[in-house]
Structure 1
């Protein structure tokens, strides 16, 4: 996909890590993120590097504040672990993408959540699906208020949810990159490319 003049939505991808790559290719980039800190970092990087980017604060668990068929591409890094209903996200992505538009998404392998915080021990401590609001360690008011509680999602809701929303899955990639011993045994992340 040529990026020049392409309208790209960085969905929950603030922080100045990914969207500068699209902006450097002369895409028209909008970053939609819930975190003030991530949006501030995105603004700092765009100011430092001298490119234009639109910043929109919002919650991807709600209806996106964009018209139907606005974007040519959506880039969603590993961030949907912070919301409970991932199928809603895929439906909204489908709605705001133009026909033929591309959804690039990354997410954690759901099995990663079995092991809890001490991945070196490789002991199963959580049932799936994992719900961070029910974990006594993570169930902290400040975390919940700031959206820092995580949820696992099954492959049925991650990949199947994209298909159910109307997408056609074009490619899938698994990555072992992760801290901890678990990477010796399984890929920890999955990336998909889907087309509207």
Structure 2
């Protein structure tokens, strides 16, 4: 492969956004005003709202980092709650949505195009809170990301993350048959790469509980809470088979 897989994935996401991808539709003006009045919720995974106690009691003046969280959906809410927000994403289209909402609502936000497989461009202990929706399925190695998140959080800072548990990668397109083994890694399995339509799905990777949740613990975090979620649609959802985790962790003081 001559082009880096993360560059390919950025182009894939740009295409999804152009086609009206649900995770690329910016927050409306009405929803922004509602958030300023205390009426808001967020998701890290397809269907379940994040529990209220996963958030900080007060975001006024807090430094919030959206990791691979472009799209103009969550950062506007954090801004409406009084936070000083920074968002990093590798999709130009997702960052354009952030710029669009910020311009419309007349607020400042630090918008960075960056590849989360690289060291994060921030000093140690820069943030109070990290919001990381389901996105690390688009990168091969996740443990370095957890170490970087730990580094840039202040003592006592929190991170909440949405995580794919790998089930989606073992089933057929209609989700009725098991067709793949784990780990799912097209970079190391030529037969998978040959069958991929990267414009449709990008280059994705399964990750284990060891990599995702244990990886956060090994980075130094303490686990506060977690839950599971489904795809929100499809056969696995109909059978109530979880395909995602969400975690809330803290960097101990």
**Cα 1:107–1:116 shift into 2, 3 Å:** farther
CA contact (8 A) 2:174 2:235 kept: no
Structure having the higher strand fraction is 1
Deviations 1:109-153 (Å, cap 9, x if unpaired)? 21221114332xx2011111111343222265x68xxx9311110
Correspondence for 2:242:
187
CA RMSD of aligned residues (A): 1.7
Give the whole-Å Cα distance in 1 for the aligned partners of 2:115 and 2:219: 19
Of residues 157, 166, 169 in structure 2, which corresponds to 1:113?
Answer: 169
How far off its partner does 1:46 sit? 1.6
Q: What TM-score, normalized to structure 1?
A: 0.91
**Residues paired across the two proteins, number:** 190
Compare 41-50 and 155-164 and name the one that shifted more.
41-50
Correspondence for 1:137:
195
Partner SS for 1:125: coil
Correspondence for 1:8:
64
Give the whole-Å Cα distance in 2 for the aligned partners of 1:55 and 1:152: 28
Of residues 170, 175, 184 in structure 1, which corresponds to 2:229?
Answer: 175
Give the whole-Å Cα distance in 2 for the aligned partners of 1:116 and 1:26: 44
**Cα 1:117–1:49 shift into 2, 3 Å:** farther
Q: Gapped runs of 5+ residues in structure 2?
A: 1-55
Q: What TM-score, normalized to structure 2?
A: 0.71
Of residues 40, 55, 75 in structure 1, which corresponds to 2:131?
Answer: 75
CA contact (8 A) 1:110 1:155 kept: no
Q: Gapped runs of 5+ residues in structure 1?
A: none
